[in-house]
Amino acid sequence: MTTPLLEARGLSKHYPFPRSVRQWVGNAPARVLRAVDDVDLTVESGRTLGVVGETGSGKSTLGRLLLRLERPTSGQVLIDGSSPDTAGAARAHQLRRDVQVVLQDPYTSLNPYLTIGSAIEEVLTVGGMTSREERRARVAELLEQVGFPAAWSERKPGQLSGGGRQRVSIARALAAGPRLIVADEPVSALDVSVQAQVLNLFQRLQRELDLAYVFITHDLAVLERIADRVVVLYLGRVVETGPADALFAGPAHPYTQALLNAAPALGRSRSTSSAVAGELPDPASPPAGCTFHTRCPFVMDVCRTTRPRLTPIAGGLQAACHLHEGSTPDPDPPATP
Ligand SMILES: Nc1ncnc2c1ncn2[C@@H]1O[C@H](COP(=O)(O)OP(=O)(O)OP(=O)(O)O)[C@@H](O)[C@H]1O
Ligand code: SF4
Ligand SMILES: [Mg+2]
């Protein structure tokens, strides 16, 4: 088996709640919010892993952990099987450059006073490109890669549309020479027609540069178009994962089914972040057993007390649901002579 480009093993991020004086005096146990809880995932070179879930499901926290912008409470992130924490300095530097970010809001991620050429050049300088001529040539190349004429390097972010600013964010991420981009809701702030253009750009760059993506969104319709594999998060835990084709053809977990029923096709209208019936529980005190049991139309007694484990089912999918426990996955395909 080949080593994945990116792997998360047992990744968790728990945020402690400050205790009130009364809780402190009463010696009440410290409470934590399990934003990300024991998540395993892998991303292969040149492929797209989609991460989906409602608001507060832990998508951005997971993204920050993969980008190493936050330290995990437990678990680890490996790139090519190595952790930047234990690699030598030069290797750790390279591993960090391998994974870059594109965020939802290019308004806040770009400095309004810098020309877009300078914003991209900044990344090249930090990356150690000392020759000004080389940097200028590379900026022109990157602008062209994201669909802009080189002459636009003198424009300021305010002179561009939302989609244009997102292209600049992508060019900045590319300037570091990454092998993987973590894109957190990169098209959610854009009009539907512009969304399609930016998704096309992501797909073209993937083909041209063999890039891998972790594509974070609350919109399954976006993932149907772009993802090879999908991870569905609910209250910080993976409830379903597997190949995108199988998941869209027959989602196994009732939560994925509800998300999919609520998601209109790309290009018609956008899904909302609260499209699933029932109230999202307080993430600080999630329900016992299956955390989805308060909203699930198939809830059984066991669901209220026992947490289901991720279980392999047909089509390469895995779901954490008592409905699927004991199900038999597809047998291995017969060996070809
Ligand atoms: N720094 C923090 N301190 C405490 N709690 C946090 C922190 N960051 C996130 N959380 C909590 O962790 C949970 C997951 O948040 P996160 O932002 O990862 O969700 P999300 O899926 O990205 O949501 P959205 O779709 O709204 O962007 C939420 O309940 C959030 O309030
Ligand atoms: S474990 Fe039970 S409550 Fe949870 S999704 Fe499955 S059927 Fe629904
Ligand atoms: Mg988020």
Q: What share of the chain is helix, strand, coil (3-state, %, to 5)?
A: 35, 20, 45
Model confidence at 91: pLDDT above 80: no
pLDDT digits (tens, 9 = 90+) for 111-130: 889 999 999 999 999 989 88
Q: What is the pLDDT of residue 83?
A: 86
d(CA 194, CA 322): 41
321 CB less than 6 Å from ligand 2?
Answer: yes
Model confidence at 10: pLDDT above 70: yes
Buried-state track 268-285, b at ≥16 Cβ within 10 A, e below 16 = eebbebebbeeebbebee
Average pLDDT taken over every residue of the chain: 89
Q: What is the pLDDT of residue 219?
A: 86
Edge-to-edge strands of the sheet including 310-312? Answer: 99-102, 180-184, 212-217, 48-52, 229-234, 237-243, 318-320, 310-312
pLDDT digits (tens, 9 = 90+) for 253-312: 999 999 988 766 544 343 444 467 888 898 888 999 999 999 999 999 999 999 999 999
CA of 233 to the centre of ligand 3 (A): 12
Best probe residue, ligand 1, of 11, 12, 15, 273 (max atoms within 8 Å of C-beta): 15
pLDDT digits (tens, 9 = 90+) for 176-192: 999 999 999 999 888 88
d(CA 253, CA 41): 18
Residue 55 in tokens: 């608001």
Percent of the chain exceeding pLDDT 90 equals 68
Any idea which ligand is nearest the CA of 52?
Answer: 1
- pTM value surpassing 0.85: yes
CATH topology for 38-250 is Rossmann fold (3.40.50)
Best probe residue, ligand 1, of 37, 57, 279 (max atoms within 8 Å of C-beta): 57
Domain definitions of the chain by residue range:
38-250
Q: What is the pLDDT of residue 232?
A: 97
Measuring CA to CA, which residue among 176, 177, 172 is closest to residue 157? 172
Mean pLDDT across 215-228: 92
300 CB less than 6 Å from ligand 2?
Answer: yes
- Burial bucket for residue 31 (CB in 10 Å: 0-12, 13-18, 19+): middle
Question: Which residues of the chain form beta strands (DSSP E)?
Answer: 6-16, 32-43, 48-52, 74-79, 99-102, 180-184, 212-217, 229-234, 237-243, 310-312, 318-320
d(CA 18, CA 31): 8
Any idea which ligand is nearest the CA of 272?
Answer: 1
324 CB less than 6 Å from ligand 2?
Answer: no
Mean pLDDT across 12-38: 82
- 25-39, 105-119, 149-163, 272-286: range with lowest mean pLDDT: 272-286
Residue 135 in tokens: 């940097």
Measuring CA to CA, which residue among 101, 105, 65 is closest to residue 178? 101
Measuring CA to CA, which residue among 68, 76, 12 is closest to residue 42? 76
Model confidence at 55: pLDDT above 70: yes
CA of 35 to the centre of ligand 1 (A): 6
CA of 54 to the centre of ligand 3 (A): 9
The one-letter amino acid code at 268 reads R
